[in-house]
Amino acid sequence: MYRASRPLAPQTGKPKTPLKENVRKLIYSCGNHNLFLELFIQGPRQFGAKDVQLLRPAVEMATSNLSRKTGVIVGDDVLKLFSYAQQKGFAIPAINVTSSSTVVASLEAARDKKAPIILQMSQGGAAYFAGKGVANDKQQASIAGAVAGAHYIRSIASAYDIPVILHTDHCAKKLLPWLDGMMDADEAYFKEHGEPLFSSHMIDLSEEEVDYNIETTARYLKRAAPMKQFLEMEIGITGGEEDGVNNEDVDNNSLYTQPEDIYNIYKTLSAISPYFSIAAGFGNVHGVYKPGNVKLHPELLSKHQAYVKEKTGTKEEKPVFLVFHGGSGSTKAEYKEAISNGVVKVNLDTDLQYAYLTGIRDYVLNKKDYIMSQVGNPDGEDKPNKKFFDPRVWVREGEKTMSARVKEGLVDFNTANQL
């Protein structure tokens, strides 16, 4: 428990010291926001219960300590939001977006649920953003699409009045030219605006030797550090298949990361920058599979935190920002345990792809007789069908069902109502 440098007015029975005076003394006693929150948590021992109930709503907001409350956030704001998520026991869904339509479906859900959100593009998703007709032999479509998507998200995100982390997903060794191109864009944007274009990137060298993984990740973190840009890395392979990366046949033992590897990564990266997170394998698999076929062990994550805490001597119970990959199809209990062990980000993709489809599928099936021709339907052979086949109508149905599934994730991860 933290102890204030000056004693606070004790409260026994009916409060004798006005709330305003206790607030003044509390702020005077605290050197930082975390201590402020800690003293509020300990409040009943130093305040009257009514005082604490009045104070708590004023500070327990995910945006209360952010310099930018809405739109794309970067640097220290991302760090503060992740720290707050660990303190309050929630994780932020990371939604793979491939178009303006999937972007707005995600933003709408987060706005309605009063929650922060992470929007991320994979290498394939970024290429789709550019257009499937653009050559990608040198990652040019993926670079152009990611940059275009980033500018679009930056332009529209603030209209939804929520903080957004702008991220890119798995970048394997063969895709490093994609990451290089995006970081070129980050540095150009930083030179003009004082911040990177993207809040963060992911480098995924989990299929490579551990030493190469850590050394290469460290090299990229050194490049990102001057911009205060986050870098997510992966250790331990995520099984299954996603976006052309197929790990369905890997040895099951490689799906589980060891505490010693987490500490080695933490020690190496923390010497460079505090802006990093680790996707540690605990049996994760991309996609959705028959129940019982995937064995997740989120309890392993607590061992990683405890080992890093012991080796570093830190007082932090959860010194590592952890990431949950392959979130689709997992149980609420698995989410809850992973988040309790320091997970701040959960990837959702497969469930949302299917959710987007269902809205469009059901619309087409229900309106089949109204979309078989431009003119003529059950209401009359001369009746026009434009209002039924207009893409703004049926694409919107996909947005609605995707948005509903994002909202479900925001509730499951305890992200809802954090703003």
pLDDT in tens, 116-127: 999 999 999 999
* Residue 118, H or E segment: strand 117-121
**pLDDT, tens only, 147-168:** 999 999 999 999 999 999 999 9
pLDDT classification of 186: cutoffs 50, 70, 90: very high
The alpha carbons of the chain give a radius of gyration, in whole angstroms, of: 24
- Write down the pLDDT at residue 41: 42
Cα(416)–Cα(407) distance, rounded to whole angstroms? 8
Residue type, 304: H
* Residue 157, H or E segment: helix 140-157
* Sequence-distant contacts of 384-389: CB under 8 A, at least 24 apart: none
Cα(62)–Cα(88) distance, rounded to whole angstroms? 9
Structure tokens at 238: 């995520």
Average pLDDT over residues 326-341: 82
Cα(153)–Cα(174) distance, rounded to whole angstroms? 27
Cα(23)–Cα(73) distance, rounded to whole angstroms? 30
- Write down the pLDDT at residue 140: 98
Catalytic one of 51, 77, 169, 349 = 169
Indicate whether 58 pLDDT > 50. Answer: no
- Write down the pLDDT at residue 245: 45
DSSP classification of residue 384 = E
Give the percent of the chain with pLDDT over 90.
70
- Write down the pLDDT at residue 227: 98
Cα(108)–Cα(102) distance, rounded to whole angstroms? 10
Average pLDDT over residues 327-356: 89
- Write down the pLDDT at residue 285: 65
Residue 169 is among the residues annotated as catalytic for this protein: yes
Indicate whether 417 pLDDT > 80. Answer: yes
